[in-house]
Amino acid sequence: MSVQSVETHPASQTVKFTKMQGLGNDFMVIDCINQSVEFTTEKIRQWSDRNFGIGFDQLLVVENASQESVDFRYRIFNADGSEVQQCGNGARCFARYVYDKGLTDKTEIYVETASGVIVLYIEDSGLVRVNMGAPNFEPSSLPFLAPARQEEYALNVLGETLLIGAVSMGNPHAVLPVDDIKTAPVEKFGAAVESHASFPERVNVGFAQKVDNSHIRLRVYERGAAETLACGTGACAAMAVFRLWQQVGDKVTVSLPGGDLLVEWNGQADSPVWMSGPAITVFEGEI
């Protein structure tokens, strides 16, 4: 008996993709249900290059789900080629993509990620609302090498002691409160905190200013992508940390350089964080 290997979609020479953005956090989205693509770190870095490639903060990959109760599998790669667990702005674009491409006619979409299942809702307004799951403040969940769980931590960075909050939204976040977002030391501390030895898998770094009970301003230095115009999980992380510190209420507008997100969390340990915002298709391409 001879054994034959069957490949339904042979790896193609060219790759069809869609360029999308959520508040200026931009993505290359690839359908790997209808085409087969091999990903290498080198290829992703080339594509993400803003001068020599397509240019994006993250690559989003659409795949078939591995479980029956879920609609799709959602994989995420940073611009530096690292594969990561979660991307909030990407999740909204993922919903828009699978719906607009006719891969589903559902407006409530269950998606498996490397950090669990999230649920995406396409609203009549065109905005996408995402159930991002509950925030996890256990240091080991990031991972963050702190001796015990605390509400805030003192982190030694470049000879200075920074006060931070730490939370996993599926992916790791450090949140630094600042007095004024315009003078936030993103250039000085962003990369240093991202690769601090206390975060063995690196960390996304949010600089957050409380405006009032229902409004935060935020800039995020993203792991594997440097500062972006917006970070959805970063917005959820900042809101969750400020909510834990009782600095804000249950419903907060988070203003990022690329625009506003609405983030809701009631402060209960098992309750999910909800995030709502836009998801926009920019162009279709082939490379």
Chain residues binding ligand LBFN2T5F by CB under 6 A are: 25, 57-58, 78, 84, 87-90, 171, 204, 222-225, 228, 231-234
Which among 32, 87, 93, 236 is annotated as catalytic?
A: 87
| Identity of the amino acid at 88 | G
The answer to the question of whether 136 is labelled as a binding residue is no
Q: Which residue has the tokens 């693509």?
A: 37
The answer to the question of whether 204 is labelled as a binding residue is yes
Nearer to ligand LBFN2T5F by Cβ, of 202 and 243: the residue is 202
At CA 265, angle to CA 263 and CA 266, rounded to 5? Answer: 150
CB of 116 to ligand LBFN2T5F, least distance (A): 14
Helix (H) / strand (E) element for 234: namely helix 232-244
Nearer to ligand LBFN2T5F by Cβ, of 17 and 56: the residue is 56
Give the integer Cα–Cα distance in Å for 228 and 40: 23
**C-alpha neighbours within 13 Å on the C-beta side of residue 171:** 29
CB of 248 to ligand LBFN2T5F, least distance (A): 19
CB of 168 to ligand LBFN2T5F, least distance (A): 10
Among this protein's residues, is 236 annotated catalytic? no
CB of 10 to ligand LBFN2T5F, least distance (A): 30
The answer to the question of whether 222 is labelled as a binding residue is yes
Beta strands 215-222 and 251-256 are: parallel
The answer to the question of whether 233 is labelled as a binding residue is yes
| Identity of the amino acid at 81 | G
CB of 71 to ligand LBFN2T5F, least distance (A): 20
Residue 90 in contact with residue 82, Cβ under 8 Å?
Answer: no
Burial of 160 by CB count in 10 Å (0-12 exposed, 13-18 middle, 19+ buried)?
exposed
Nearer to ligand LBFN2T5F by Cβ, of 85 and 104: the residue is 85
Give the integer Cα–Cα distance in Å for 120 and 259: 20
The answer to the question of whether 35 is labelled as a binding residue is no
Nearer to ligand LBFN2T5F by Cβ, of 55 and 213: the residue is 55
Nearer to ligand LBFN2T5F by Cβ, of 92 and 243: the residue is 92
**C-alpha neighbours within 13 Å on the C-beta side of residue 128:** 30
Among this protein's residues, is 231 annotated catalytic? yes
The answer to the question of whether 88 is labelled as a binding residue is yes
Give the integer Cα–Cα distance in Å for 50 and 44: 12
Give the integer Cα–Cα distance in Å for 12 and 287: 11
Q: Which residues are annotated as a binding site for substrate?
A: 25, 58, 78, 88-89, 171, 204, 222-223, 232-233
Q: Which residues are annotated as a binding site?
A: 25, 58, 78, 88-89, 171, 204, 222-223, 232-233
Supply the residues annotated as catalytic: 87, 231
